[in-house]
Chain A
Amino acid sequence: AQKITQTQPGMFVQEKEAVTLDCTYDTSDPSYGLFWYKQPSSGEMIFLIYQGSYDQQNATEGRYSLNFQKARKSANLVISASQLGDSAMYFCAMREVMAGNMLTFGGGTRLMVKP
């Protein structure tokens, strides 16, 4: 079974608008972490934001916020005020402590920001 599911292969958003990228996960480990990475066309993976399973508040990092709904096992990334430079692949990932801290990735969402 898929551990991390990103159901949106591609998304368009108008510049300056907000966009939500979906991510659902599956785990029985009570201790886990959720990550979002950005991969621009140059290929490097850029860490954006982290949410721990015991964190009480949703993580925020500048224009990025993580909408963490533990009961629903979802960890959606919200990008506010989209910029042209936000066009990239976005990957959701999970690390489970019981799995030896391996990072498991979803299939990714390609975000395209329209001017």
Chain B
Amino acid sequence: DVKVTQSSRYLVKRTGEKVFLECVQDMDHENMFWYRQDPGLGLRLIYFSYDVKMKEKGDIPEGYSVSREKKERFSLILESASTNQTSMYLCASSIGTAIRSAFFGQGTRLTVV
């Protein structure tokens, strides 16, 4: 089974802190994605990466950055956390061309106080 693992299930951070959300997948997928999920807004794409060291902005990249130094790991970074970044964050991975579905991690619920 494909496994996408996010490092934390719940996080509470203070405003202004630097926050790292880690995601690891074990199926050698080229594509990895970070979404945030908010009630009524569905999932919105923050960043995605189609290869090591490659990244593309999604719909809402402001306030976030990403890092993909190894194929299996995709990190989301909040340089200076703010309360409006309180949300559920979901990581996903998918195979490059056989695009039948993306596999998701279990989500990280981040609260910024």
Contacts and interface: CB of A to CB of B under 8 A. Distances in A.
Which 6 A-B residue pairs are closest in the complex by CB-CB distance?
Answer: A45-B104, A105-B43, A107-B42, A47-B101, A105-B42, A43-B107
A97 B94 CA distance: 13
Contacts of B99: 33, 95, 97, 101
Interface string B75-113: 000000000000010101010100111111011010000
A103 B107 contact: no
Given A103-B102, A105-B42, A107-B40, A44 B92 contact: no
B35 interface: yes
Interface residues of B, number: 27
B74 interface: no
B64 interface: no
Interface in A1-54: 4, 6, 9, 33, 35, 37, 42-45, 47, 50
B88 A108 contact: no
Given A35-B101, A47-B102, A100-B56, 4 more contacts: A42-B106, A97-B99, A100-B48, A108-B42
10 contacts: A45-B92, A50-B100, A91-B42, A93-B43, A101-B94, A102-B45, A103-B43, A103-B92, A106-B42, A108-B40
Nearest to A95: B99
A106 B41 CA distance: 7
B48 to A, nearest CB: 6
Given A9-B40, A91-B42, A105 B35 contact: yes
Given A33-B100, A102-B48, A43 B88 contact: yes
B96 A102 contact: no
Interface string B18-49: 00000000000001010100001111110010
A22 to B, nearest CB: 14
